[in-house]
C-alpha cells in the first residue's frame, strides 16, 4: 500500500470544496482500505451491474457502460494478480477501484457513480460478502452434521454414561449423545437459512439516503446481483446492518454449541476418561512430556466463541443509538464480521474433520456406564412397576441398596438376591433383568429417548432431511 503521510492537495474524489488535504492522523482514522479491500470482488460486481443498468435505462451511453464494465474487469484481474496499487489517501475500496478505473478508461469512469452513493454501494458490497458467508456457514454445518451422523450411526447402541452435573446419571448411547449435537447444529443451520432469506434484498439505488432523481431500475440491479428484490425504503437500505447482526448472532449461538462439544472432546480424550481417541491428524504432542497427546484443535474451537461473541457485542454496540441514515460509525462493521466469519468457518471445518476421524472407545464407555450405579433409576422404576411401590418409597429403597453396594464395594448388578431382599423382601430375581446398562438404554423407548431404535429412527430422519 502506498502510504502518504500528508496530502497537500484535496481528495480527488470529493475534494471539490476543500483547499487542503487531511491531516495524516485524520487519514489514518478515516481510511478503511486496509481491511475493506476484502470486498473488491463484490464492489466490482456491484459496479458492473450498476453500469449495465445505467445504460439500459439510457442514463449513460452503451459505449460508456462498455468501457466501464471492461475496465472493471481489468481492475479485478489487477487486484487478483496482486499488482494493484492500493492507496490509503483514497480511503476505501470503492474509491480505490473507481480511481484506478479512471486511470484505465478515462472520462467514462466519471459516469459510473451516477445515481449512486458510497452509502448504498458499501451496503450492497457488504451484503453480498456476508451473503456468501451465510452460504459457507450452511455448507460447513451440513458437513458437520454429516460427521456427527456418521459417529451416531456407528455407535447407535454403544452404551456410555449420561451425565448431569458431570456426575453419572443414567446410561445413554453414544449415538444418542451425537444426535443431540446434530439437533443443535441443525437449528444453527436453519437459523442461517432463515436469516439469509431475510437479508437477500438489494440496497443498491437507495443512493445517499433519499433515492435519486435519475430513472434508475433498482429491480434490474437487484436481479443482476441475485437479490430477491430491492429494499423498500432507501433510508433503511443505507443504514441497516441487521444482516450482519443476524449473522453474528447466529454465529455466536453456533459457536456456543461448538465450544460445548469441544469441551466434551477435551474431557473425553483425557487419560481419566479415555472415551475417545483423537487421530494423529488432530492431536499435538508436548515438547517436554513425551506421553502427551493434546487436543489443541478442540481447545481452540472452544476458545473461538470469545472472538465471535466479542465481534457480536462490538457491532451491536456500534449500531445502538445511531440516528438514521448512514453514519461513518458503520465503517466499523467490517473487521468484526470478517474476523467472526473466518473464526466460525475454521472452527466448523476443524470440528467436522476431528469428528470424522474420531474413534470412540466402546468398551471403555460401557465400563464407565456400568459403574457409578447408573441403573439406580431403572431399579426404582422396577419397584414401582412390578411391586406397586409409590415412586418416593422406591427411590428410598433404591438409595438404601446403593448404600449397601457402596459398603460392599460393588455395583448394583453385583448384589445378591439376599442383599436385595435384606432391604425389601418383595424383590425377586426378575430384577436382574433391569440392572444391566443395555437393558436400561433399550427400555428408554419414549420419543426422543436413548433406546437404539429411537436413535436409529432419528438418524434416518436426518439423512432424509439432508438428502
Span interacting with ligand ARG, options 108-116, 140-148, 303-311, 323-331, rule CB under 6 A: 323-331
Q: How far is the CB of 330 from ligand ARG (least distance, A)?
A: 5
Nearer to ligand ARG, 129 or 134 (CB): 129
Q: How far is the CB of 317 from ligand ARG (least distance, A)?
A: 17
Return d(Cα 351, Cα 358) in angstroms, integer: 10
Enter the DSSP assignment of 284.
B
In sequence order, what DSSP letters do the residues of 296-363 get, joined into one string? HHHHHHHHHHHHHHHHHHHHHHHHTTPPSS--GGGGGHHHHHHHHHHHHHHHHHHHHHHHHT-EE-HH
* Residue 6 annotated in active site: no
Q: How far is the CB of 238 from ligand ARG (least distance, A)?
A: 9
Q: Is 32 in the site for ligand ARG (CB under 6 A)?
A: yes
Return d(Cα 412, Cα 405) in angstroms, integer: 6
Nearer to ligand ARG, 79 or 383 (CB): 79
Nearer to ligand ARG, 43 or 378 (CB): 43
Q: Which residue of 151, 331, 343, 458 would you call a contact of ligand ARG, by CB under 6 A? A: 331
Span interacting with ligand ARG, options 170-178, 247-255, 324-332, 434-442, rule CB under 6 A: 324-332
Return d(Cα 262, Cα 223) in angstroms, integer: 41
Q: Is 47 in the site for ligand ARG (CB under 6 A)?
A: no
**Count of other CB atoms within 10 angstroms of residue 249:** 17
8 A C-beta contact, residue 199 and residue 179? no
Nearer to ligand ARG, 122 or 128 (CB): 122
* φ and ψ at residue 164, rounded to 5 degrees: -130, 145
What residues numbered 64-83 form the site for ligand ARG, per CB under 6 A? none
Q: How far is the CB of 38 from ligand ARG (least distance, A)?
A: 11
Nearer to ligand ARG, 33 or 147 (CB): 33
Instruction: Write down the catalytic residue from 270, 279, 286, 371.
Output: 286
What residues numbered 143-202 form the site for ligand ARG, per CB under 6 A? none
* Residue 396 annotated in active site: no
Q: Is 361 in the site for ligand ARG (CB under 6 A)?
A: no
Nearer to ligand ARG, 203 or 452 (CB): 203
Strand locations in 156-297 (E):
159-164, 167-173, 201-202, 229-230, 276-277
* Nearest partner of 195 among 256, 140, 247, 139, judged by Cα: 247
Return d(Cα 89, Cα 72) in angstroms, integer: 20
Return d(Cα 134, Cα 152) in angstroms, integer: 27
Span interacting with ligand ARG, options 46-54, 326-334, 345-353, 373-381, rule CB under 6 A: 326-334
Task: Show the DSSP H helices in 200-240 as ranges.
Answer: 218-224, 234-239
| Percent of the chain as helix, strand, coil, to the nearest 5 | 65, 5, 30
Record the cell numbers describing residue 293, joined without a space. 497427546
Query: Residues binding ligand ARG: what is the number (CB under 6 A)?
Result: 10
- String of b and e for 351-371 (b: at least 16 CB within 10 Å)? bbbbbbebebbbebbbebbbe
Q: Which residue of 7, 22, 36, 202 would you call a contact of ligand ARG, by CB under 6 A? A: 36
Maximum CA extent, the chain: 101
Record the cell numbers describing residue 46, joined without a space. 456491484
CA dihedral 376, 382, 387, 389 (to 10 degrees): 50
Span interacting with ligand ARG, options 55-63, 106-114, 174-182, 328-336, rule CB under 6 A: 328-336
Q: Interface mask (CB under 6 A) for ligand ARG, residues 91-130, using x and -?
A: -x-------------------------xx--x--------
Q: How far is the CB of 11 from ligand ARG (least distance, A)?
A: 11
Q: Is 330 in the site for ligand ARG (CB under 6 A)?
A: yes
Nearer to ligand ARG, 125 or 188 (CB): 125
> Taking each helix axis from N to C terminus, what angle separates 118-154 and 333-356, rounded to the nearest 10 degrees?
20
Nearer to ligand ARG, 21 or 295 (CB): 21
Q: How far is the CB of 36 from ligand ARG (least distance, A)?
A: 6
Nearer to ligand ARG, 248 or 265 (CB): 248
Q: How far is the CB of 46 from ligand ARG (least distance, A)?
A: 13
Q: How far is the CB of 118 from ligand ARG (least distance, A)?
A: 4
Partner residues linked to 284 by β-bridges: 294
Q: Is 352 in the site for ligand ARG (CB under 6 A)?
A: no
Q: How far is the CB of 331 from ligand ARG (least distance, A)?
A: 4
Q: Which residues are catalytic?
A: 165, 286
Residues that bind ligand ARG (CB under 6 A): 32, 36, 92, 118-119, 122, 326, 328, 330-331
Amino acid at each position: 500500500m502506498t502510504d502518504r503521510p500528508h496530502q497537500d492537495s484535496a481528495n480527488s474524489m470529493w475534494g471539490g470544496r476543500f483547499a487542503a488535504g487531511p491531516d495524516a492522523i485524520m487519514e489514518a482514522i478515516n481510511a478503511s482500505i486496509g481491511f475493506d479491500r476484502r470486498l473488491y470482488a463484490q464492489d466490482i460486481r456491484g459496479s458492473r451491474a450498476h453500469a449495465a443498468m445505467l445504460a439500459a435505462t439510457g442514463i449513460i451511453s452503451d459505449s460508456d457502460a462498455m468501457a466501464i464494465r471492461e475496465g472493471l474487469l481489468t481492475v479485478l484481474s489487477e487486484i487478483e494478480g496482486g499488482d494493484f496499487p492500493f492507496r490509503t489517501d483514497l480511503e476505501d475500496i470503492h474509491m480505490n477501484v473507481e480511481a484506478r478505473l479512471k486511470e484505465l478508461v478515462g472520462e467514462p469512469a466519471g459516469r459510473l457513480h451516477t445515481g449512486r452513493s458510497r452509502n448504498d454501494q458499501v451496503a450492497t458490497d457488504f451484503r453480498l460478502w456476508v451473503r456468501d458467508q451465510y452460504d459457507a456457514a450452511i455448507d460447513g454445518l451440513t458437513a458437520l452434521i454429516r460427521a456427527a451422523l456418521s459417529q451416531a450411526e456407528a455407535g447407535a447402541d454403544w452404551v456410555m454414561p449420561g451425565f448431569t452435573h458431570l456426575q453419572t446419571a443414567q446410561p445413554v448411547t453414544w449415538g444418542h449423545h451425537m444426535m443431540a449435537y446434530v439437533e443443535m447444529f441443525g437449528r444453527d443451520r436453519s437459523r442461517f437459512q432463515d436469516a439469509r432469506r431475510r437479508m437477500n434484498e438489494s440496497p443498491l439505488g437507495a443512493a445517499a439516503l433519499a433515492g435519486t432523481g435519475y430513472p434508475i431500475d433498482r429491480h434490474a440491479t437487484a436481479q443482476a446481483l441475485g437479490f430477491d428484490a430491492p429494499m423498500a425504503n432507501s433510508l433503511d437500505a443505507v443504514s441497516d446492518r441487521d444482516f450482519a447482526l443476524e449473522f453474528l448472532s447466529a454465529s455466536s449461538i453456533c459457536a456456543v454449541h461448538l465450544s460445548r462439544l469441544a469441551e466434551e472432546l477435551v474431557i473425553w480424550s483425557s487419560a481419566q476418561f479415555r472415551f475417545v481417541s483423537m487421530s494423529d491428524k488432530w492431536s499435538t504432542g508436548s515438547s517436554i512430556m513425551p506421553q502427551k497427546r493434546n487436543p489443541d484443535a478442540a481447545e481452540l474451537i472452544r476458545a473461538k466463541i470469545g472472538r465471535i461473541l466479542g465481534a457480536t457485542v462490538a457491532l451491536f454496540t456500534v449500531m445502538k443509538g445511531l440516528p438514521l441514515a448512514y453514519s461513518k460509525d458503520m465503517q466499523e462493521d467490517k473487521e468484526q464480521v470478517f474476523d467472526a466469519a473466518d473464526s466460525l468457518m475454521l472452527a466448523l471445518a476443524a470440528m467436522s474433520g476431528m469428528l470424522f476421524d474420531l474413534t470412540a472407545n466402546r468398551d471403555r464407555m460401557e465400563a464407565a456406564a456400568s459403574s457409578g450405579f447408573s441403573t439406580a433409576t431403572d431399579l426404582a422404576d422396577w419397584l414401582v412397576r412390578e411391586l406397586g411401590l409409590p415412586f418416593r418409597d422406591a427411590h428410598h429403597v433404591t438409595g438404601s441398596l446403593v448404600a449397601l453396594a457402596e459398603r460392599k464395594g460393588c455395583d448394583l448388578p453385583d448384589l445378591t438376591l439376599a442383599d436385595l431382599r435384606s432391604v425389601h423382601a418383595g424383590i425377586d430375581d426378575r430384577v436382574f433383568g433391569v440392572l444391566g446398562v443395555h437393558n436400561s438404554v433399550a427400555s428408554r423407548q419414549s420419543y426422543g429417548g436413548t433406546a437404539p431404535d429411537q436413535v436409529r429412527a432419528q438418524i434416518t430422519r436426518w439423512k432424509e432431511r439432508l438428502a
